[in-house]
Amino acid sequence: MSTVQEYLDQIESLGTLAKVGICFALLGVVLLSCKYFVLRPFGNLVTRSKAKWDDALLAPLSNRLYFFVTVAGTQLSLLWVLEENTEFNESLFPLFSVIYILTTTSILSTGIKHLLPVILGRFSAKSSVTVSGGNPLIVFLLRGVTYFVGLNLALSELDIELLGLFASLAVFSLIIGLAVQQTLGNIVNSFMLAVDRPFEVGDRIEVDGMVGTVISMGILSTKVLDRDEKLVVIPNNTLISSTLINHARGGGDGIARRISVVVDIGVDYRESIDHVKVIMLGLARDCPYTIDAPEPRVLLVELGDFAKVLRLYTWVADYSDEWVTRDWLLKSLDERFEKEHIRIPFPTSVELAGDEDEMLSQQIESKESKQRAAKRQMSREDRDLRKQRDEAREELEDIQERLRDTSLTKEERADFDNRAMELSKTLTMFDTDDD
């Protein structure tokens, strides 16, 4: 025991530079100990875990731990090296307290950022529709409250009242706010857009009938490039107060989503509906821009004054192909109708003769044969459609039954949810067809 005391007395008798060197050496040892005996085992545990939130927490917590140890080591070093200068050490104590409080606040905020979405996701009800923006807003508010409390405690260590500071600035802020009300509204709404994320750069949106691609999002306005390559600047106030349609969602990731292409065609009342349907379906399937699933559909939507109106539904994988697809379909339909002698009537009053007008008997025969074949084909199409609908409903019921199994992993549940969403969309299309 006396030997240890002798060593301590020798250390105490060293000069200031020697003490500083010892402090740096001890701080390095402590930091290495944290790295190899605390963070490395924790990192190995995180690597073996299947969860993703702990991976995101590892780096921020490691940096804050190093910072906390460094600050604590610096304070202890100053207390030892400058032990005779007690007034200086006491003057630095509030500053170190502020650093500890802000570091703890930062750790809590980081934990809320990564852990709260996981907790909310566990308790949220599973459905085929996901509304983005709710959880990020809750996380942001809780982090804001955490920082407010931490900052208030830190400033109180310096004898500064945060609430009093806010009160003194209130009148000045009111005057400035009234002067730049519109500008402040755009700034606040840009913040709300960033929190809610209804769209991202690269998404195609529709606002008040204007359709275009988002190229940048600023604090005052959002810039959109329309179909005519014109730059449209939309104030953020307008985006918040208007009904906005995002044609790229998904999730606001800028990835083009599939979009339906709808073409209405009116044909003469003497034409066979099945014949026209078969031709329209065939062209939709042959179109180089359309996708195989969902399959194209043709519905009779109106019996107009001059024509029977049929509506073609087909889908393209990328919304940028919508207009070239429409152009291809209309051109092909016009050429095929002319070849098949299918008439698109003019909106005029005409007196119909009892015979087949000026069509030749050979053309009439050929056309009637094609109409009979088309009717048989449409019967097969209807049977296939009903079969697909029944299979989709059975699969959806099976998935809903499996989702009640509590032993499912998170990945399996997510796969079932995605498949259920696809089936729900398919059944919605079938219901539209029935209508």
- Does residue 278 contact residue 369 with C-beta atoms inside 8 Å? no
Starting at the edge strand that comes first in sequence, how are the strands of the sheet with 308-316 ordered? 259-267, 308-316, 297-303
Domain 199-246 is in which class? mainly beta
Q: What pLDDT is recorded for position 328?
A: 92
Distance separating alpha carbons of residues 256 and 246, to the nearest angstrom? 10
What b-and-e string marks burial along 347-357, b requiring 16 or more CB atoms within 10 Å of the CB? Answer: eeeeeeeeeee
Distance separating alpha carbons of residues 261 and 284, to the nearest angstrom? 10
Q: What pLDDT is recorded for position 153?
A: 84
| 199-246 matches 259-434 in fold | no
Domain locations in the chain as residue ranges: 2-168, 199-246, 259-434
Q: Tokens for 373?
A: 């074949």
- Mind giving me the DSSP string for 297-310? EEEEEEE-SS-EEE
Distance separating alpha carbons of residues 67 and 27, to the nearest angstrom? 12
Main-chain phi, psi angles of 7, to 5 degrees: -60, -40
The low-confidence residues of the chain, meaning pLDDT below 70, are: 1-15, 120-137, 161-181, 184, 248-257, 347-375, 378, 423-435
Sign of CA dihedral 367, 371, 307, 429: negative
CATH architecture of 259-434: 2-Layer Sandwich (3.30)
Distance separating alpha carbons of residues 258 and 428, to the nearest angstrom? 16
Distance separating alpha carbons of residues 318 and 322, to the nearest angstrom? 8
